[in-house]
Homo-oligomer: A and B are copies of this chain.
């Protein structure tokens, strides 16, 4: 059963006269989401290091720090650079970064400018990183990525000691381990299992590091679906990103409620020429292609219309269920995205409002900083 399809999404309050499509953010919901996640971390006695990949916004990153976050997590060197330039001084690049060529120089500049740590999951990457840092006054802190079941990157946790030894011999400073519980996005039940896997993997990794003679101080856990579950020993910090806005994916997993959706995409009905559907002005260049024909590529708030069944670049096909209200050409509908991160990344700025009053257009500062 699909949670999001079973419920009706209340239409959000939106500013009037928006040009569509747009990415519209309710600041009160953002603040509430930030406070709630900070409470989760503080109550558990762990640090919160939000992943900025979701918002890529310096302004929102500042709200997170003001609420108590200890630093930020970045996903690309470019993201880290944008936030470092804006004054963020404690950055974890939680990515198995490759330090070849100009990238090595950029990593070194970050290392010498801010408190910086990077992800590591193999000896070749360690050697490249160490070479890039050669001659630097301080050793670069690395956090060892261990695979807790997502099957993406990260060494098996029991091999963290070996990798730490290799890194240390190369000239790096292994300070702990991190994991990504990506297999917690399959169902509400999968969250608990993935969190258990992650906490267990981090415990094994830290033990392996200690057995290798290291004193790890970081055990860093992702992500929004599991964050509320993973704040337990040996975890020392949480790296959720999506909680700041949430989306249908998190709603389906039970990781947020419908009132916690902070970002909506207003879209205009532009055509009703073909029976059984209307065309809206949000396509893949607005929503990405996150979803499928059955759940749709996002969901329209308000009285049920039908499923956003198909997208072209600038066209969304909203199939109208028989007997349902058919919106008229010119109507503005609000779409909740399935996955909010790629949507934010498609906009130059976020329209930020409080109760429908626009209070800012906040740039998506790190958009396009892919490398």
Contact = CB atoms under 8 A, between A and B. Distances in A.
A63 to B, nearest CB: 22
A197 interface: no
B19 A122 contact: no
Interface in A93-145: 95-98, 100-103, 121-122, 124-125, 128, 145
A333 B153 CA distance: 18
A315 interface: yes
Nearest to A277: B151
Interface stretch (A166-174, A252-260, A338-346): A338-346
Contacts of A290: 284, 289
Contacts of A128: 330
Interface in A347-371: 347-348, 367-368, 370-371
Copies in the complex: 2
Interface in A257-316: 268-274, 277, 279, 281, 284-286, 288-290, 312-315
A250 B182 CA distance: 33
B21 A371 contact: yes
A317 interface: yes
Contact of A96 (B279, B341, B348, B367): B279
Contacts of A313: 53, 75, 341-342
Contacts of A347: 368, 370
A211 interface: no
A17 interface: yes
A241 to B, nearest CB: 9
Contacts of A147: 273-274
A95 B330 contact: no
B288 A288 contact: yes
Contact of A20 (B151, B284, B341, B371): B371
A22 B102 CA distance: 14
A59 to B, nearest CB: 18
A17 B125 CA distance: 17
Nearest to A128: B330
A61 interface: no
A71 to B, nearest CB: 19
A170 to B, nearest CB: 14
A154 interface: yes
A190 interface: no
A252 to B, nearest CB: 17
A343 to B, nearest CB: 11
Contact of A370 (B76, B96, B341, B346): B346
A24 B371 CA distance: 13
B98 A281 contact: yes
A156 to B, nearest CB: 8
Contact of A19 (B20, B101, B312): B101
A155 interface: yes
23 contacts: A22-B370, A22-B371, A75-B314, A95-B314, A96-B270, A96-B273, A98-B268, A98-B269, A98-B281, A100-B268, A122-B273, A145-B271, A147-B273, A151-B277, A152-B274, A153-B271, A154-B274, A182-B312, A284-B290, A285-B370, A288-B288, A288-B342, A345-B346
The 8 A-B residue pairs with the shortest CB-CB distance in the complex, in nearest-first order: A153-B271, A348-B368, A19-B371, A289-B289, A124-B329, A96-B271, A121-B273, A75-B314
Given A20-B371, A96-B279, A124-B328, 7 more contacts: A17-B102, A95-B314, A98-B269, A98-B281, A128-B330, A285-B345, A348-B368
